[in-house]
Amino acid sequence: MAATIKTIAKETGLSLTTVSKYLNGGNVLDENRVAIEAAIKKCGYHINYIAKNLKTGHTNTVGVVLPSFQDVFHTGLFHYVECFLREKGYSVQIVGSGGTLEDEKRSIMTLLNRQVDAIFLLPIHGAAENARYVVENGTPLIVGDQFLEGVDADFVLFDNFNASLSAIDTLIAAGHTKIAFIGVDRKYYTANQRYLGYREAMRRNGIEPHEEYEQLCPDFNIALAKEATCKVLDFPDPPTALFATNFYMTVGMISVLNERGMKLGEDISAIGYDSLFVSDLVYPKLTLVDQPLEEAGRRIADAIFASIARKNQFAEHHAILIPAKIIEGNSIKNLKNF
């Protein structure tokens, strides 16, 4: 006869309430946890999730849709989201969108058919259609990394505008006015916000941007970043500082500087983005804009829990902005000293 929760309670001498609390992801005393886990192993107990879901109306599962499993930012963010969800007893169903609206829709349908309690979506850039479908289905939705107009959901975003503004202010404070912006096409939400932050920093400091220094690559690609970096460095009047605005741009920029034998902080000044391990691999250490993924993962998980609790019904939704920070290295030459 299959073991039940009553079997575990009898084996441990604990109340059904205590055993149930543990099985549902709640906190119990350490000695009770040890006793329950030992009893589960001895009795071969398994939770009947089908029966539990029918009774509670919840699957204790959150669906996650990622555009790419190869992207360092996406997978890093997912790692922390999953950690915080598991702490509360939730499992995760992760699917890829394949980078197309059609694949994203199919992935979302898969999660909805599995009756996940909520969906965390890193959407195809600028596309709100599939996000609206989730909301219309009545499933709580949390959107990360970009804002989608007309979507009634919670958004957890990095403050890309002010992160970029702070990076450029740092370079200007060191005496740089000829600053190259190595970014991505402004059709992408994050890329546009970072470009606007760069432009605002230049405007506030009374510096007229050199349009030829503004290199906007058509996509997130290291080879394109290398081309853009070479282009600005080969101008007759090259910039004194480079700002690479994402992981791919940073790797491409560093690659070109290495190939040309240019030393950071001496031959050229630079700030990178999102590449902590790259910063530690280059010498001198690269100054970097760091997006705190662990903090973002916690805020996303909190938004998911709140959305599930209110069942997405008649509640005010929020856009949560997470500030990035500048991690100082030794890659900026102070021109005011010369």
Domain boundaries, given as residue ranges, for the chain: 5-47, 59-158+293-323, 160-291+326-337
Per-residue buried b or exposed e for 90-104, using 16+ beta carbons within 10 Å of the residue's own CB: bebbbbbbeeeeebb
**How many CB atoms neighbour CB 187 within 10 A?**
11
- State the pLDDT at residue 316: 58
What is the length of the chain? Answer: 338
- Rounded (5°) CA angle 216-217-220: 125
Q: Strands, E, within 58-207: which ranges?
A: 61-66, 91-96, 118-121, 141-144, 154-158, 179-184
Q: Strands, E, within 138-263: which ranges?
A: 141-144, 154-158, 179-184, 214-217, 241-244
Query: What pTM was computed for the model?
Result: 0.81
- Coil, strand or helix: which one is 68? coil
Beta partners for residue 320, in sequence order: 156
Q: What are phi and psi of 214, to 5 degrees?
A: -95, 100
- State the pLDDT at residue 50: 46
- Rounded (5°) CA angle 184-190-196: 80
Q: How many angstroms separate the CA atoms of 285 and 138, rounded? A: 48
The amino acid sitting at 305 is F
Say yes or no: do domains 59-158+293-323 and 160-291+326-337 share a fold.
Answer: yes
Token digits of residue 206: 């009374």
Token digits of residue 283: 């010498």
Token digits of residue 182: 């190595």
Q: How many angstroms separate the CA atoms of 9 and 20, rounded? A: 9
- State the pLDDT at residue 47: 64
Could you tell me which CATH class the domain 160-291+326-337 is placed in?
Answer: alpha beta
Beta partners for residue 94, in sequence order: 64
Average pLDDT, consecutive stretches of 10 residues, N- to C-terminus, the chain (338 residues): 82 89 79 89 70 59 90 89 92 87 89 91 84 90 90 92 97 97 94 97 95 95 97 96 96 96 96 80 91 94 90 64 94 88
Distances (CA, A) of 27 to 30, 42, 68: 9, 22, 35
Q: How many angstroms separate the CA atoms of 194 and 118, rounded? A: 30
Tell me which fold the domain 59-158+293-323 belongs to.
Rossmann fold (3.40.50)
